[in-house]
Chain A
Amino acid sequence: MSEENDLKFWEFVKPGKFELPAEPASKRAASFFEKLFSGVSDDAGEGGIEAVQSELKNAPRSLIDWLAPYPCWKEATAAIKEALLPWLEDETFEGYSRVLVAPYGSGLGEMLQILADENKWTVLAAPDYSVLRTRNFSWLDALPAKSDKPLIIPRLEAFFLRHYNGLEHLRRLVSKLFHSRQRCIIGCNSWLWHFLDSAMHMRESFNKCYYLQSLSAQDLQSLFCSLETRKSYRPTVFRQADNGSFILPPEMTGKGRLDAAVIKADSSADAFPSAFLKKLAVESRGIPLVAWSIWRNSLRLAPDEDVAELAREVADKDAATSATAKTIWVKAFEDVELPTIPGDTGQTGAFLLLYLLQHDGLKTDAIFDLLSLEKSRLIGLLNRLHKAGIVVNENDVWRASWQGYPAIRRFLAEQDHLQDAM
């Protein structure tokens, strides 16, 4: 597959064209029968696979970093440009701002930052928390002077506080941008966008917005293959631990040096994208970092594998030239352990998780300040959610974990809380 095709999975679409990855009914029925007859299929248990499955060991973090490194958002900037090109090139453009909306865990802020750096466009720096918390609006007087180049706001979340003064800051910013007639590209997380639309009818303030299209199973396959080939030099095959079927097409991860005999009948074009990736696409709602995080969690090694040797060969271009293909085992999707919401999370937990999603992470003090609830209760809750893998703390900023996101979304929906826009 050419590199051009690899990068085609990033796409920004108009809200009406946004689609979630879904398994068609015919495929669901097929998978039901597949499951039903899996016990008598030739693949099952072949070559002692069942024995291998129970003995697989966790792949070390360093190796996972080589096989599934953090996505590079550079390719996605082309999709942004493609969506906005007519507007960027048109002198008599309609409307001064364009909003790009993407779900939590889409890397939208990073995409826009790269786009701004590449084109030397000005990025609007967000004021401090302490400024947004008060009625001091003087930072708005220091906005960059009007220019022909678009002004970039990579993360509108950084300008937002769910606080009575916070809304006024945002209202004034939008008004200022509107009156300045400055072309502006704004990135916004779908949870915040839905809140702002519900609370302030924000959608009406902007002429057009675009949604990052969810990644289908086919897109995830392209993404994981492109990630694998970015840093790893050794031919690798990814096989499902319970039945040995290929998860990613071996011809894409084999670096062109794979023995044809290794590519078995089940690696035919019809078998891809694999059932694992289809399930992953549905569970992750096609969100890149959610899918990526679950993918990393599912990688396993054979028990006799020399981890140090493997890591060296994967990372070393010269050593990998002569190396034979190695198998990375992938847990069956049903066996992947994803975080679940602790039973006693309750209404307070729902508030906390909603605030974390809408702000794209909050510092501990900000949580105490914005959620005027008992501190001891919040601390206990944060600890429980952290232990369950639902939230993570990075540099004193609490945020929802990517792997925990599907469970969080389901929990908030059950509690009737405001959802995201997608």
Chain B
Amino acid sequence: MKRRKIASVGVLAAVVAAAASLAGATTAASDANTLTVWLQVDAQTGWADVVAAANRQFESSHPGWNVDVQYQTWGDHLGKFDATLAAGNVPDVIELGNTEMTKYMAAGAFADLTSAKSSFPNSGNWLAGLAASGSFNGKLYGVPYYAGSRVVTYRSDLYKRAGIAKLPTSLAAFIADAKKLAAKSGKRGFSPVYVAGTDWYIAMGFVYDRGGAIARFKNGKWVGALASKQAIAGLTAYKAFFNAASRASRTGDEARPQPYDVYAQGMAASIVGPAWFSCCVGAKYKAATKQFVMPSYIKGKAMPGFLGGSDLAVPGRTNAKQQAIDWIKALTSSTSQRALQAKGNIPNATSLLGNSVNERAAQRSWFIPTAKHWVDVENGNILRTMLARILTGKATIQQAASWASDNISFTLNRP
């Protein structure tokens, strides 16, 4: 009897505790005077001061409101966002990578900001590529936050020692320079230009350089385009470039290891990637590190680079839409954007563009197909698998490209 009592007391305690935690959750959600903002950790490590300034500006013009910025990581922020969509406690503002926008816009996750468009700072001059990632069916759902392009980060000391007097202005010249760098180094496993084998952000630049594309939208349907003549030419050029310049794993990716780590270990004369790669090249090589624009196969032109970037969106279920819009205005004001630019980012408007290597590289850029199911292509790693097959020689370029193209057509047209 006594035992039973103890057991039932235990159950009761558990029930009470569960009820209490539920009650706690409801109170937190109904606190109407807090604007919850989800930004990526990049802001926390790179420009927390810019965010703090925007918060101060917002809070001074909205008495009684305070901003709660919650920093998220790229790996799991969408999973967490999905969970809040299911539970109903969505943030009021969320930063999404430009490649992540389409799926959520198509599903109706965000508030329509079209009527407020003209009130956003510099909205008439937003970077075309970035603005495109934030609109769907002619409506605005995402405000361009900032962009980043891909450049070549290199060690000027090694280039000089290899007798490279002038930076390459064409792909052919770059390959020739890579061979000089390799010959001069003689170190086993040393990459003149380190590129991870399956780094599709770089490889697709070669495809777009030749006028190819990943997929095209024709007659209301997406059609994979990697088996086209232009795309094949681009993939062929990528393979030749990789073989001449990179000693990276043919099946590896650009996260394991990070290219800048290879560079910092003295195993690469140059790396291709986001301009902020210069952050982490190691103290030893910091002074000798410089950047230039990745050259096209056409002399004097830049190779189209993937235009990465972020948008700020307002989840449809927020009950502070106007405040969310006002906060976004504060973070995308000319002052904030110039501060972001000073940290090495590309500001969101052409009127603010400078002449840095990063900004010059952004002049020719490409973007992923804005299809609802594009993320499925990324999650299925179709492009990476194709590149690994091409580089390892497990399939011919034509075979691998046709396989990927068919797969992409199928995936993008899923209901």
> Is chain B a partner of chain A in the same complex?
no
